[in-house]
Amino acid sequence: MAAKRDYYEVLRINRDADDAAIKKAYRKLAKKYHPDSNGGNAQAEQMFKEVTEAYTILSDPEKRKLYDRFGHAAFDGTGAAAGTGAAAGAEAEGSQGFDGFYGFGSVDDIFDDLFGGMFGSSSSGYGRSGYSSSGYGGSFARKGQDLTADVSVTFDEAAFGCEKVIRLQGEDGRVQSLQVHIPAGIETGKSIRLRGKGMPGHAGGPAGDLLLKVTVGSRPGFERKGMDVYSTISVPFAAAVLGGEVMVQTIHGAVMCRIKPGTQPGVKIRLRGKGISSEGNISRQGDHYAVVQIQVPTELGHEAAEKLREFQDALKREQRRKHGAA
């Protein structure tokens, strides 16, 4: 059996390296040699085993002290270290050697701490399954690669949800039809995950997933902002002045809307619950906002023009009376 290399040499760090330098070195090397990144390369697997073993020791202050004092003998039960109480305790705790990671915790814990689950069993399929109580496993059952594709949906399909059949062409040229549930309220940029529809797993691992990136189409007359929908309504001049009613088209159908006297251009009339459902809770509905535009007549007959002048004169008299009273 080949002699073990010095742990500091393995991680390519100085003996006085601090915790941050140790972690940085391991992160870099673990990414480089991780089996998921090297397609079953045996040499890479061995290097990954070696750098992980070195990090397991040097990242722990107590174990690092033992290693600095006794070297590898601190953990394999040989040499002068075996006769000391501290080293003997370490030997008893970790008598399996690297095969059991010295009893210091699992590889998953290390990966979760450093990579946030990047190489954990939930994302890549490689975690504890890569190691066994008898040593470093060689099968490396891992999840297949995730695939991505784009899917376009209409404004209404995204607003109300639907079942949609999509056709995807693979790298081999074959076309596959898939039925996809479009959840109500989904927005452009969100993804729909189809579990098990990605690349096949390796060595018995599960298949990867298919991620469909959604693009939502537009609908004339409507603008979506999150869960809310905006439209423009044209209000007759008389109705804006005197008040009245106007029919507003929403995505849920036509709604009669009351116009208050003196309504100004740009006013937003809120129709509660007439917007789009929340993607995560269809019982929550956004609102519809109707933005008012005043409909000014472009042509007036003689009688209408005279009445409008009388109206204007009446307004002026009212204003003068108000100012005089003040």
Query: What is the distance between the alpha carbons of residues 295 and 5, in angstroms, rounded to a whole number?
Result: 85
pLDDT surpassing 70 at residue 287? yes
Taking only the tens place, the pLDDT of each residue in 251-267 is 999 999 999 999 999 99
Residues contacting 132, CB < 8 A, separation 6+ = 99
Taking only the tens place, the pLDDT of each residue in 40-69 is 788 988 898 999 999 999 999 999 999 999
User: Which pLDDT does position 313 carry in this prediction?
Assistant: 83
User: Which pLDDT does position 200 carry in this prediction?
Assistant: 87
Cβ burial 89-99 (10 Å sphere, 16+ → b, else e):
ebbeebeebbe
Taking only the tens place, the pLDDT of each residue in 198-240 is 888 887 788 999 999 999 999 999 999 999 999 999 999 889 9
What is the CATH code of the structural domain delimited by 223-295?
2.60.260.20
Q: Where are the domains of the chain?
A: 7-136, 147-216, 223-295
Sign of CA dihedral 38, 44, 47, 49: positive
Query: What is the distance between the alpha carbons of residues 126 and 175, in angstroms, rounded to a whole number?
Result: 30
Share of the chain above pLDDT 70, in %: 79
CATH superfamily of 147-216: Urease metallochaperone UreE, N-terminal domain (2.60.260.20)
Higher pLDDT, 272 or 2: 272
User: Which pLDDT does position 325 carry in this prediction?
Assistant: 61
Query: What is the distance between the alpha carbons of residues 211 and 121, in angstroms, rounded to a whole number?
Result: 19
User: Which pLDDT does position 326 carry in this prediction?
Assistant: 55
What is the CATH code of the structural domain delimited by 7-136?
1.10.287.110
Same fold, 7-136 and 147-216: no
pTM across the whole model:
0.55
User: Which pLDDT does position 77 carry in this prediction?
Assistant: 60
